[in-house]
Chain A
Amino acid sequence: MAKFNSVRLDSDKCMGCINCIKRCPTQAIRVRDRKAYIISDFCIDCGECIRICPHHAKLPVYDPVSVIHDFEYTVALPAPTLYAQFNNLEDTDIVLNALLKMGFDDVFEVSAGAEIVSEVSRKFINAHPEGKPYISTACPSVVRLVRVRFPNLIEHLLPISSPMDVAAIFARRRAMEKTGLPADKIGIIFISPCPAKMTSVKAPIGIGRSEVDAVVAIKDIYPLLLPLMSDSNDNYDIADSGKIGISWSKSGGEASGLLTDNYLAADGIENVIQVLEDLEDEKISHLDFIELNACPGGCVGGTLTVENPYVARAKINHLRKYMPVSKAHDVSDTNAIYLDREIEYLPVFRIGNDMKDSIKKMADIDKLQKRFPGLDCGACGAPTCRALAEDVIMGRATERDCIYFLKDYIGESCNISEK
């Protein structure tokens, strides 16, 4: 399968400070030769390093807004988080009309896709209670985390596409019917809260390919929409989703769409990891559904948004007031929205080729770790002394990357030269 990461490093801006290496939940970052680099196999595109980097040296990868000129006909797929960026918004149609004025030919709300997912999920969970608790598959970072770290939980992943991918399927169908154009002349363009969605478009998990053609950032679209937002002229009635759909933008929203109280919703990657650990150890039981979002507060906390996540959450709550619970959607043909590829465990953190090799390497790592000072100072460029020991045994670093080893080494060489 294609490997792709949407969080990259700008080595010109990177100062080699060690802020990010400590913050990465999968210990994917190292600093070598005064520049950070990401071990891409370990990275789950959660965006934590983007949040923490004081020098803005972490580059989320996504498409420029100009991508809309690459297609004959374009459909905007706004994530519901987009609505949470505006002050005093009382009608999503104002945003949707502004997207048309901006140059998109049509819009298909991801919140409408979300309502379809909610409905299909409800039916699926009722029909397959044996797989409970189901873990949400809407956040690409969470799916990637489970895939590399929680093999025992893969079977609990809800086998249903994300609202983005579902919206994209329906949007393309509609555009083709409307215009008669072939599929490749139509651009399905997702307006995203995060780089992780870019990853899931470029290297999808659970489906063969995504119907999304390009991913643009909410923060890039936002300033372009502001001057176009008026509720007076050419106000088409486009909005096609209600409370359930737009609530997906915040933690707990997806779960509430399942109309069950028997759920848990966690947000922020460290909390997500804690929940997955407890779930794996069977410390949590009797739940129907586990909603997990890598970002604080849910997608409103995505790194490509403008508004503070907590303010954004309040804005969504305000907007919800004026909405119906959900709109009616045609869910007669939903085969395409189930995941149809098996999600396989990717043991990227494995140290050996087989058990024997692993035992030997683990023993070597333990032994070496004991010789390091245990300060976890980060000066070596690894997040902890343990991580450096592992890097050395795995051939990614040398003992002398530890400044205490280096000191001894320099001392020894001086002694030798004195003699």
Chain B
Amino acid sequence: MNLEFTYTVDPDDFTRAGEASADIKKKLKKMNVPHEAVRKVAIAMYEGEINMVIHANGGIITVFVNEDFITMVLADKGPGIPDVEKAMQEGFSTAPDNIRALGFGAGMGLPNMKKYTDEMKIDTVIGEGTTVTMKVNL
């Protein structure tokens, strides 16, 4: 059986960024998911969620859960990522100063998402949007 959760990520409200990953964490903890996996999902999804708010005008997150793995699909209609390889480098960031002032923009989000998941794929089209798919094995 597959379980599916859907979240809409609001682009304008910084104070609410992180709500989706917080909710997933709460649910997974109730569900016999090994707690190390819960932590990985929460950290990776939070980074992806913040990226959607900062770089892509929000979007939709869908999380699939089954007995073998958890898949997170983060889809946005933002500007797309011109050079994915570069974006994946630690420290690379295009975040503007006002965002950096909030403590974001260290260029560690995407590298962390890769580090904390077992598989990660980025599909991006300039001007159309980005879909990040991440998988954590159980």
Chain A residues within 8 Å of B, Cβ to Cβ? 149, 151-152, 277, 280-283, 345, 347, 349-360, 362-363, 366
Contact = CB atoms under 8 A, between A and B. Distances in A.
A351 B31 contact: yes
A281 B43 contact: yes
Given A152-B35, A152-B36, A281-B43, A358 B22 contact: no
B35 A356 contact: no
Interface in B28-43: 29-33, 35-36, 38-39, 42-43
A355 B32 contact: yes
Contacts of A281: 21, 25, 39, 42-43, 46
Report, nearest first, the 5 A-B pairs whose CB atoms are least far apart. Answer: A358-B31, A151-B35, A355-B32, A358-B32, A355-B67
24 contacts: A149-B29, A151-B35, A152-B38, A277-B22, A280-B39, A281-B21, A281-B46, A345-B35, A347-B32, A349-B30, A350-B31, A352-B32, A353-B32, A355-B31, A355-B67, A355-B138, A356-B1, A356-B67, A359-B1, A360-B1, A362-B3, A362-B65, A363-B1, A363-B3
B66 interface: yes
Interface in B53-72: 65-67
Interface of B: 1-3, 5, 21-22, 25, 27, 29-33, 35-36, 38-39, 42-43, 46, 65-67, 138
Contacts of A355: 31-33, 67, 138
A383 B131 CA distance: 36
B29 A349 contact: yes
B31 A359 contact: yes
B30 A152 contact: no
Contacts of B138: 355
B31 A362 contact: yes
Given A360-B1, A362-B3, A363-B1, A350 B39 contact: no
Contacts of B38: 152
A211 to B, nearest CB: 33
A351 B26 CA distance: 12
B32 A350 contact: yes
Contacts of A360: 1
Contact of B42 (A151, A280, A366): A280
Nearest to B38: A152
Contacts of A353: 32
Contacts of B35: 151-152, 345
B43 A359 contact: no
A360 B32 CA distance: 12
B30 A351 contact: yes
A206 B22 CA distance: 29
B41 to A, nearest CB: 10
Most chain A beta-carbon contacts within 10 A, residue among B2, B3, B25, B36: B3
Contact of A359 (B3, B29, B42, B46): B3
A362 B67 contact: no
Given A149-B29, A280-B42, A359-B66, 5 more contacts: A151-B29, A282-B43, A352-B31, A355-B138, A359-B65
A152 B39 contact: yes
Contacts of A356: 1, 67
A149 B42 CA distance: 14
B14 to A, nearest CB: 14
B46 A350 contact: no
A282 B42 CA distance: 10
Contacts of B36: 152
A56 B33 CA distance: 40
Nearest to A278: B18
B42 A354 contact: no
Nearest to A363: B3
Contacts of B67: 355-356, 359
Nearest to A151: B35
A161 to B, nearest CB: 26
Nearest to A357: B32
Contacts of B1: 356, 359-360, 363
A295 B82 CA distance: 50
Most chain B beta-carbon contacts within 10 A, residue among A152, A352, A355: A355
A357 B65 CA distance: 13
Nearest to A356: B67
A281 B25 CA distance: 10
A349 B27 CA distance: 10
A6 B43 CA distance: 35
Contacts of B33: 355, 358
